[in-house]
Structure 1
Amino acid sequence: MFDISVQTQTGLVQVFYGDGRGKTSAAMGEVWQAVSQGLKVCAVFFMKGKRREAEYNILEKLQVEYTVFGRSGFLSSADTQAEDSKLCRQALEFAEGQIRSGKWDLVVLDEINNAQYYGFIQARDILKLLSAKPVGTSLILTGKVVDKAVAEEVNLIDECCKVKHPYDRGILARQGIDF
């Protein structure tokens, strides 16, 4: 018989990545599952400013601790600023402290893979976080890409692949549905 109680579970590392939508939504679904089972959850948002986004609202309602490191507004490679690098380094340091603390069952590192893709942090920084993870702590990493070295060290990778998107036809994001 397997014992699947919360106290005996091994924490895993999951990645949600790809060019399709749903990466953060998938992470928030995992948060919902964890909170519903009484687990302690922390979320660290890389490269996202404090806005009226659905994920922040639901985290507050669920009483999940979260911290946001980023400028408000859309960020593309043409839009990067020195401040982005500073904020990503701060997010990385904060995330490492939260992971090492051992007080969380689940830590979400939203858009950490994008921070690495844009060169604000390195793959070795992410690997350091993975090695700092206590046995019982699970991690979720999101972003459009995942580094090959990071991919080798994680337990689960799900790809969100865009097949068709209304934005390609000029339909903008809808409040309450897309954000």
Structure 2
Amino acid sequence: MPNPMTTVGKIHVFHGDGRGKTSAAMGEVLRAKALGQRVGVVFFMKGKRKGAEYRSLENLGVEYAVFGRSGFLSGADAETQDKVLARQALEYSGAILKSGRFDLVILDEIINAQYYGLILADDIVKLMVSKPNGMSMILTGKTADKRILERADQVCVFHKIKHPYDKGIFARKGIDF
């Protein structure tokens, strides 16, 4: 009989003002794929670009969907289109959770979509509740709502001490994207 602790999927939240939340989630993707697991990734608030994570996912045969405009989006930049894209990402996320096709689902930047008012914390909690028992889920973003943190099984906080951006050094290919 299998160990029940290995067959019950958990909900993980990677949040905070530090860099590396998406990178950590992609590390979990790599580990899951190496173990033969089925992985799906939904990118909230990120447009399709030539970033290494997209190429890596393609090379690994990971199914992913991108819902966002090109470039970096902050709350001040948000437009009606961003709210529409975030809702589409939310609906897509609900559909892939319901499908049961995956062992691990990453909802990248979903917490930022809520923080910037594109979706509601209640929407995220509903997704968390709807997660099939055997599936693991990782949510990423900067500032997580208390209800999301309470529902999660694991919460990791990424805190910035210092960053090259503070000295005017922008994102570096192969490191930051």
Q: Give the TM-score normalised by structure 1.
A: 0.95
Q: In structure 2, what is the Cα distance between the partners aligned to 1:9 and 1:26?
A: 22
Whole-angstrom distance in 1 between the partners of 2:4 and 2:33: 15
Aligned counterparts, 1:135-154, within 5 A: 135-154=133-152
2:65 maps to 67
Please name the residue that 1:104 is paired with.
Answer: 102
Deviation at 1:178, TM superposition (A): 1.3
Question: What do residues 106-131 of structure 1 show as CA deviations (whole Å, max 9, x unaligned)?
Answer: 00000000000011111110111011
- What does the per-residue CA deviation read over 1:132-173, in whole Å, with 9 as the maximum and x for residues that have no partner? 111001100000011101110010000110001011011121
Deviation at 1:5, TM superposition (A): 8.7
Q: String of CA shifts for 1:40-80, please: whole Å, max 9, x gaps.
A: 00000000000011111110010000000000011122211
* Aligned ranges 1:1-179 → 2 under 5 Å: 3-4=2-3, 9-179=7-177
Letter in 1 for 2:159: C
- SS of corresponding position for 1:29: helix
Describe the superposition over 1:8-61 as per-residue Cα deviations: whole angstroms up to 9, x where unpaired: 510000000010100000000100110000000000000000001111111001
Distance in structure 1 (CA, Å) of the matches to 2:35 and 2:50 = 27
Deviating runs (4+, > 2 A) in structure 1? Answer: 2-6
What percentage of aligned pairs have identical amino acids? 58
Amino acid at match of 2:12: Q
**Which 5+ residue runs of structure 1 have no aligned equivalent?**
none
Q: Deviation at 1:4?
A: 4.4
* Residue aligned with 1:135, SS: coil
Distance 2:109 2:20 in 1: 12
| Count of residues paired in the alignment | 177
**TM-score normalized with structure 2 length:** 0.97
Secondary structure class of the residue paired with 2:173: coil
Asked if the contact 2:74/2:116 (under 8 Å) is kept, the reply is no
In the TM superposition, what is the alpha-carbon distance from 1:85 to its structure 2 partner?
0.1
Say what the alpha-carbon RMSD is for the aligned residues: 1.4
| Residue 3 (structure 1) shift | 3.6
Note if contact 2:32-2:104 (Cα within 8 Å) is conserved in structure 1.
yes
Contiguous gaps of at least 5 residues in structure 2 = none
Secondary structure (helix, strand or coil) at the match of 1:25 reads helix
